[in-house]
Amino acid sequence: MTEAADPSRDRLKHHFAQRVIHQARQILEVWQRLQQSEWSATDMVEITEANQRLLRFAERFEQVEHVQLATAINLALVDIEANRGRLSSTLITDLNRLMQRLSRTGLRHGDRLEQTTLPPLRKPIYIALQDSERGERLAQQLEFFGLSAQSLGNVDTFHMTMAERLPAAVVMDVDFNGAGAGLALATQMQEGLEQKLPLLFFSHLDTDTPTRLAAVRAGGEEFLTGTLDASSLLEKIEILTRVAQYEPYKVLIIDDSRAQAKHTEGLLNSGGIVTRTLLDPIKAMLELAEFQPDLIILDMYMPGCTGTELAKVIRHNDRYVSVPIIYLSAEDDLDKQLDAMSEGGDDFLTKPIKPRHLITTVRNRAARARNLKARMVRDSLTGLYNHTHILQLLEDCSFRARRENKPLSFAMLDIDHFKRVNDSHGHPMGDRVIKSLALFLKQRLRKTDYIGRYGGEEFAVVMPDTDLPAAYGVLDEIRQRFAEIHYPAQPVDLCCTFSAGVVEIAADDDALMMASQADEALYRAKKAGRNQVQGLSLAASTMSRHRHPDIV
């Protein structure tokens, strides 16, 4: 037997790889925690030591990719220390990108050893439902979508399993083991834990405010009612347990004083917030379009343009109506502050300001703005971007691709014979198929790709840094895997397919032209028999698979 075919050697390699992955996960958990507070010298020591352990393990077990990442992270940390601990926007962005790459490395169940792609979530999900059979079915559905899930049928099993291993998250029925007993069990579960577990409560019936209040006090971060659907539950779990997919808040500082702007920038950078400074307010709209900030900090008094005047100009553009504007000024006249806030502002902070006050205010405002924007631009059924926003993203990406001379592909997908699904199995089954495809796309495309529900059973995908052959290959692989899904139905299980049309941007293409071409390619796929991907001007001999390195 050759060395390559030795199963014991493969098992040993797998064991070593898991040791490295475990250490990588510790770094990611520290990184996620640091996003919630100001960085300190102690934090720097903790993450540096964790990264050094990763480097030692990766070198010892010959995990080349982890060696490269740990080395790069170490260099970034050295740069921060050389900058006397100050986190510049460039350093934050670089370190965050490395952490995101680290979160995508590892071994996923069923992968070959040489293909190592690990989603951030690895610990199991514990499901504690009063209806144990329902819990088992839900666990099986989550397993199908790549999660490790375990249904716990009674309290004794719950305690024993928790003692063996803490989960990534817990789905708890408020009536698990009796009326309201799930609330007490969850409270007991969280006691003594240094870091609280993500907890989702469930009730088959709608509940009153006292029950929901008790759920909040027990540590519940979500409260679901009605029917538990695997795809929507998975989305909630991924949001609560996401590691290193944290995107730093972006703040645009507009102040004519370079010294004051740099001071504000330094304070925010120390809290892990990416900033950009603009000294000339007249250039604000160009900077907004380029930087796309989560929040704007505005000086009240600037030559040529006051802060309140600029706030009005910004609010004239629909794209920036919901972006918070905070005035930061030495103005201490309360009436003038209130007048300024009535002119498009959301808050008024007076100089000098304590660092923690500034950082906390910015974080809270930016977090709420992101949450509101997510609700405005996403489809309620699938959580994908809605029709209007996906076209806006296509426009932004096409502008950037032409400017930077990079490839960009756009695809439109349509579920085949979807009317038959609704007519034969009902609209709930149709919704289930739509959500299933949405989840499939989210799992199998990169974080840098944009996915939207174009309308009905139609989807759209914007794929930056991707040429036509690569986009075709990725979508065709997803098409084949999606066709393998079975949906329980009578008299036989239901299987669905989709057709897709994909195009690559040309020198003179705009977003509307690309959408029209993708729609034409989709029509060709339908006309040619469905369950296929068609690309305009696609030649099989040119399938170079050129795609950005972080393809999933």
If you write DSSP's letter for every residue of 405-467 in order, what string do you get?
T--EEEEEEEETTHHHHHHHH-HHHHHHHHHHHHHHHHHHS-TTSEEEEEETTEEEEEEETB-
- Which pLDDT value is given to residue 531? 95
Do 387-542 and 125-241 fall under one CATH topology?
no
Q: Give buried/exposed letters for 182-202 (b at 16+ CB in 10 A, else e).
A: bbebbbebeeeeeeebbbbbb
Q: Is 354 exposed, middle or buried (0-12, 13-18, 19+ CB in 10 A)?
A: exposed
Q: 408: which 2 tokens?
A: 């960009």
What pLDDT is stored for residue 114 in this prediction?
A: 33
Question: What DSSP string runs through 498-516?
Answer: EEEEEEE--TT--HHHHHH
**Residue 254 main-chain phi, psi, to 5 deg:** -115, 110
Which tokens sit at 552?
A: 């999933």
Consecutive H or E run containing 496:
none
> Top-level CATH class of 250-376?
alpha beta
Q: What is the dihedral of CA 111, 112, 117, 118, to 10 degrees?
A: 50
CATH superfamily of 125-241: Response regulator (3.40.50.2300)
The pLDDT of residue 119 is: 38
Count of CA atoms in the C-beta half-sphere (13 A) of 177: 17
Q: How many residues make up the chain in this entry?
A: 552
Q: Give all strands of the β-sheet with 125-128 in edge-to-edge order.
A: 149-151, 125-128, 169-173, 199-203, 222-225
Low-confidence ranges of the chain (pLDDT < 50): 1-5, 106-121, 243-245, 538-552
Evaluate whether 411 touches 471 at the Cβ level (below 8 Å): yes
How far is Cα 238 from Cα 121, in angstroms, rounded to an integer?
8
3-class DSSP state of 328: strand
Tokens of 11: 């098992």
| C-alpha–C-alpha distance, residues 57 and 34, integer Å | 23
Residue 57 in tokens: 């393990």
Residue among 531, 473, 527 nearest 499 (CA): 531
Domain residue limits, the chain: 3-103, 125-241, 250-376, 387-542
Give the C-alpha distances (Å, rounded to integers) separating 550 from 71, 103, 104, 447, 449. Answer: 18, 11, 8, 9, 11
Q: What is the pLDDT of residue 492?
A: 84
> How big is the chain by its Cα radius of gyration, in Å?
26
Q: In CATH, what number does 387-542 get?
A: 3.30.70.270
Q: What is the DSSP string of 27-51?
A: HHHHHHHHTTS---HHHHHHHHHHH
